[in-house]
Amino acid sequence: MEKKSVRRNAPGPRGDLLIGSFRELQRQGQVPFYLNNWRKYGDIVRFQVGPIIAHIIAQPDHVQYVMEGNPSNYGRGLGYAKTRSLLGDGVLTSDGEVWRRERELMEPLFTREAVAMFEEEIVDTTKAMVARWDEVTARGETIDLDAELRRLSIQVMGRTMLGTEPGQAGVGEALAQAYDKTSEFISRRLTSVVDVPLWLPTAFNRRFTQTMRKLDRLIYQLIRERRSGKQQTTDLLSRLTAARVDATGERLSDKQIRDEIITVLFAGHETAAELLTWTWYELAQHHEIEAKLRDELTRVIGANAPSAHDLANLTLTNCIIQETLRLYPSVWTFPRQAIRADEIGGYHIPAGSMILISPFLTHRHASFWENPETFDPDRFTPERSASRTSYAYLPFGGGARVCLGRHLVMFEAGLVLATVAPRYHLHLLANQRIEPVARITLRPSVPVLMGIERWH
């Protein structure tokens, strides 16, 4: 049915004449800017940054409408275009028929059953971290938790997606370094009004290009090795090098494989690490929940290493991870761009304007969550989850473009937590004030320095 045309704009900050709210965004920081304007103006906030009109939306119905009700009108658009200089045309950034083929190709490796094959790689890599922590404890030192977990996550990615061997630490380190540098570039691009073109020889552009070249050399070398070898493994790299494009039966080009690999590393590395960092940040402040978690782990897995099978019986472990994703959704906001003019919640959405969906806001919506700021894993018991409004909880997005790696990351987080929590108590060093800040993912504002003690 044709919608009647609504000309009423959503309320929001007026901003400066030419740059709109750019200065306010920079001054407040993105997360406070979203929160403050949401509290002031309500569930749809319209603002402008330079020539771009954007709407922050927080109401589950409106989010559902964009993601499932009228998805063909809301493409990846400008927000994702800014990441193409790094990611190319992988499954995260592409649209339409190209996206459909890519998703079909990747999906089989990321089902719940398929990710269970990575049990050994994840547990082994975590045990290596634990062995290092044993030495740290013996020396009475502290750890930078976020840095530790980012290192763990890139190594897990290397082993599960690229099939690197445990001894090939160099690949993981090189990937981590390249990731840090390139993500800084993307982060800057996402928050700028005007993009400095990549061909301009600024110091920053040069650094980015050099890092990209290094990262590409590494990935292309892995592709060549895999193409020439007999090794048949279950990782993503094997799947992509063996894949044939349906209609023509041709193999994927090296560039196509490179784009998918970088996409998965980019989408999956920091997101997983931040989820675990925030989990321990909360556990360090809720000793009663930590004690119940240890009870559950002792009861279900005892002194053994956790397995894929155990995870199904770790109800509280799973609830803790879900509650962490509610308060700290690693992907705290993601964009769409309206192709044609539309109406959301009675407000006019001009063609070409941006829609900023924010799990961070929706997960704090008092109409859908009781005491939204309180960390309470029991919200995610099956009984309480059953009555939840659709799209009130969307850490992994939804609809056809729901996160490809959601089963992998839930599996990884469960195994890591179940390996580490029975062994260590982590406590925050005094006087640390830590806020979530928006980079590409939701990161802690300062290094999360933790003291660690062995339970036994």
Range 397-426, binding ligand HEM (CB under 6 A): 397, 401, 403-405, 408-409
Range 274-313, binding ligand HEM (CB under 6 A): 275
Q: At its nearest, how many Å lie between ligand HEM and the CB of residue 235?
A: 11
Q: What is the DSSP string of 386-413?
A: HTPPTTS--TT--GGG--TTHHHHHHHH
Exactly one of 280, 396, 411, 424 binds ligand HEM (CB under 6 A); that residue is: 396
Q: At its nearest, how many Å lie between ligand HEM and the CB of residue 103?
A: 5
Distance in angstroms (rounded) separating the CA atoms of residues 51 and 56: 16
Q: Which of 265, 290, 268 is nearest to 279 (CA)?
A: 290
150 touches 167 (CB < 8 A): no
Cβ nearer to ligand HEM, comparing 33 with 396: 396
Regarding 330 and contact with ligand HEM (CB under 6 A), the answer is yes
Q: At its nearest, how many Å lie between ligand HEM and the CB of residue 18?
A: 29
Helix %, strand %, coil % of the chain (to 5): 55, 10, 35
Stretches 134-142, 261-269, 280-288, 418-426: which one binds ligand HEM (CB under 6 A)? 261-269
Residue with tokens 């030495």: 135
Regarding 272 and contact with ligand HEM (CB under 6 A), the answer is yes
Regarding 126 and contact with ligand HEM (CB under 6 A), the answer is no
SS3 62: helix
- β-pairing, 354-357 with 347-349? unpaired
Cβ nearer to ligand HEM, comparing 291 with 400: 400
Regarding 264 and contact with ligand HEM (CB under 6 A), the answer is yes
Residue count, binding to ligand HEM (CB under 6 A): 23
Cβ nearer to ligand HEM, comparing 53 with 403: 403
Exactly one of 263, 358, 362, 419 binds ligand HEM (CB under 6 A); that residue is: 263
Strand partners, 20: 16, 49
The C-alpha torsion from 309 through 123 and 138 to 286, rounded to 10°, is -50
Q: At its nearest, how many Å lie between ligand HEM and the CB of residue 397?
A: 3
Q: What is the DSSP string of 236-296?
A: HHHHHHH-B-TTT-PBPPHHHHHHHHHHHHHHHHHHHHHHHHHHHHHHTT-HHHHHHHHHH
Exactly one of 35, 92, 311, 438 binds ligand HEM (CB under 6 A); that residue is: 92
Q: How many CA atoms within 13 Å lie on the side-chain side of 74?
A: 26
Exactly one of 22, 47, 65, 334 binds ligand HEM (CB under 6 A); that residue is: 334
Site string for ligand HEM, 50-89 (x = CB under 6 A): ----------------------------------------
Cβ nearer to ligand HEM, comparing 293 with 331: 331
Cβ nearer to ligand HEM, comparing 57 with 452: 57
Q: Which of 173, 211, 136 is nearest to 450 (CA)?
A: 136
Q: At its nearest, how many Å lie between ligand HEM and the CB of residue 144?
A: 20
Distance in angstroms (rounded) separating the CA atoms of residues 324 and 377: 8
Regarding 31 and contact with ligand HEM (CB under 6 A), the answer is no
Strand partners, 403: none
For residue 79, what is the enclosing H or E element? Answer: helix 77-81
**Residue of closest CB approach to ligand HEM:** 405
Exactly one of 331, 356, 392, 420 binds ligand HEM (CB under 6 A); that residue is: 331
Amino acid code (one letter) for 208: F
Stretches 4-12, 181-189, 391-399, 422-430: which one binds ligand HEM (CB under 6 A)? 391-399
Question: Rule CB under 6 A: which residues touch ligand HEM?
Answer: 91-92, 103, 263-264, 267-268, 271-272, 275, 329-331, 334, 395-397, 401, 403-405, 408-409
